[in-house]
Amino acid sequence: MNHRGIQKPPIFELIAVFFNYGGLLLIILSELADIWSALSTLGALYIVFVAPIVMLVIIYRLQKTKKNSNYHLYIFIASSLYFIIMPATFYLLLS
């Protein structure tokens, strides 16, 4: 991002989105491999209760700057899609 001259690159937002989607992926893999543990439960609680708040903060912060670069726009879209992907994932895993 620094090579492209992007002002105020969304580093924190990118790391947070990566962390939240990575946690969701670990929950999916734990459920599919039938290896559920206490740590998986803590991860699921984070994904359900804390991650949506983090994603809302990211959406709020990027709402005005999403036109600065494609990075800002794609992180904004990924944060917004989390509210569709996360419930759909849990619905499919629990059904």
Convert the pLDDT of each residue in 68-87 to its tens digit: 889 999 999 999 999 999 99
Residue 75 CB neighbours (<10 A): 23
pLDDT band at 54 (very low <50, low <70, confident <90, very high): very high
Predicted confidence at residue 63, as pLDDT, reads 94
Can you give the residue ranges of every domain in the chain? Answer: 11-87
Q: What is the mean pLDDT of residues 5-16?
A: 88
- Residue 39: which region, alpha, beta or left (left: phi > 0; alpha: psi -120 to 50)? alpha
How many whole angstroms separate alpha carbon 87 and alpha carbon 52? 11
Question: Structure pTM?
Answer: 0.89
* pLDDT score, position 1: 67
DSSP string for 7-53? SS--HHHHHHHHHHHHHHHHHHHHHHTT---HHHHHHHHIIIIIHHH
Torsion of CA 26, 31, 35, 41, to 10 degrees: 70
Sequence-distant (6+) residues with CB within 8 A of 90 are: 48
